[in-house]
Structure 1
């Protein structure tokens, strides 16, 4: 099993390059970073975690800019969106960003995706919350076409373009792995489009039956990465027993000096299972 970190990179925490170096020095395998383009002042959509929306949601850096800075100072760290909000992203532009990052990092990208929860945020991008699932599916399929075809074209309900040339192509073949975030409602998307499931806020006891249902639905052994795990060795041991591909420790967004000590603590937990 691999050990990585999931976090929000903001203008108030450790800088991307410093974080990437610190992670690689401590032998972490991957970094998954969150995305929010903006937060509307109107807060009608309840925060899924309950209570007030944490400050980090307001201040996230663009994930592809941040991951590019990290790519420049690392050699082995996997670089992942966790998650990219596909309903809020143009598929042609996003396909180029993912492929460009995969090229400059020499094939280290994981494309973590989701449909999002903040209805006002996605509506500002012209996405209808009621159809965001179908929109996400089409945009992912269109991106896959752009990555793999010399003359790519796509004709759907939401995405429509005649044959186009789109370079660069990703280093990874056929394309960077697509990790689909979400609960059981995302299982169809995992089965039909995704390469892995990015599970969030689920204990080992809950996760085991869900993995079985997912693999039955998909008809294959779907890899599972668990997002935002506390530094609890008991939890990690439970995930190991389930055979998950990767555990992502939750890293709070704090200044650089505090980040280093927190990463040391996470690395000690991980080292107990290596």
Structure 2
């Protein structure tokens, strides 16, 4: 089972370059970074992780810039977004950034995507909250048209793109889907709470699920795997990558027994000394 990490990197924490080098030297498999463009001061949306909202949420680095630095100073470390708020991006621009990072890293990039929780943040990006899931689905389809090997147009509910020359292409090869075109682009995981709508979207246009923590996996995984089969997806089933995990031997053993192949451990949004101490503690699980 691969052991990766996630952290809110900010202007006050360890740098992406130092962290990436330390992770690779110690044998961790990957680094996933979250995303918030900004946190409106006037906010009615309660934070699902509890109030008051931690300082790092309003100070996080741009995830693609930071992941690019991490990839540039390592050779084996996987890099990923955990997660990218797709509804808050122009899809043509996001397709280019994701493909470029996957290309320059030699196929080490995972695109974790999600729908967000902060209504006010999304509203500043022009997102209508009630349709954000459909918007993400639509934008992912547009991005896959740009990632296709041959120029391919897309006409969706929210956006469209002409058949275009769009390079570089992601390194990750296309994956076949029954009754649909190939799944192009980097490895894609969808974050979110377990539920039939989320699982249907994972089975339709992703490679797997990135739940926060691993609570309830024993009950959720059979439902997700059934949705995967019902959609005509083949292979060993969807990947499941619990993110933001505080580890223990028993917890990691349960994940392994459930068929989880990768776990993402949470690091503190702290300075170099504290983060390195935490890596030393986590090394026992490698």
Query: What is the distance in 1 between the residues matched to 2:53 and 2:277?
Result: 26
TM-superposed deviation, 1:114: 0.3
TM-superposed deviation, 1:200: 1.1
TM-superposed deviation, 1:162: 2.2
Which of residues 218, 229, 242 is equivalent to 2:258? Answer: 242
CA contact (8 A) 1:84 1:112 kept: yes
> Which residues of structure 1 form unaligned runs of 5+?
none
Secondary structure of 1:184 counterpart:
coil
Give TM-score, length-normalised by structure 1.
Answer: 0.95
CA contact (8 A) 2:11 2:61 kept: yes
Which of residues 156, 178, 189 is equivalent to 2:188? Answer: 178
Structure 1 residue 229 corresponds to structure 2 residue 239: no
Which of residues 219, 223, 244 is equivalent to 1:213? Answer: 223
CA contact (8 A) 2:214 2:245 kept: no
TM-superposed deviation, 1:202: 3.1
Query: Which segment drifts farther, 33-42 or 182-191?
Result: 182-191
CA contact (8 A) 2:239 2:260 kept: yes
| Aligned length in residues | 268
Secondary structure of 2:279 counterpart:
helix
Which residue in the other structure is 2:133 paired with? 133
Query: What is the distance in 2 between the residues matched to 1:104 and 1:223?
Result: 24
CA contact (8 A) 2:142 2:161 kept: no
> Which residues of structure 2 form unaligned runs of 5+?
175-184
CA contact (8 A) 1:187 1:217 kept: yes
Which residue in the other structure is 2:54 paired with? 54
CA contact (8 A) 2:10 2:59 kept: yes
CA contact (8 A) 2:242 2:264 kept: yes
Which of residues 255, 265, 269 is equivalent to 2:281? Answer: 265
Q: CA deviation digits over 1:79-136, x for unaligned, max 9? A: 1000000010111000000111111111100000001110110110111001000000
TM-superposed deviation, 1:149: 3.9
Structure 1 residue 65 corresponds to structure 2 residue 75: no
TM-superposed deviation, 1:201: 3.2
Give TM-score, length-normalised by structure 2.
Answer: 0.91
Q: CA deviation digits over 1:55-92, x for unaligned, max 9? A: 11101111110011011110011110000000101110
> RMSD of the TM alignment (CA)?
1.1
Secondary structure of 1:259 counterpart:
helix
Which of residues 247, 254, 258 is equivalent to 2:270? Answer: 254
Structure 1 residue 191 corresponds to structure 2 residue 182: no
- Structure 1: which 4+ aligned runs deviate by more than 6 Å? none
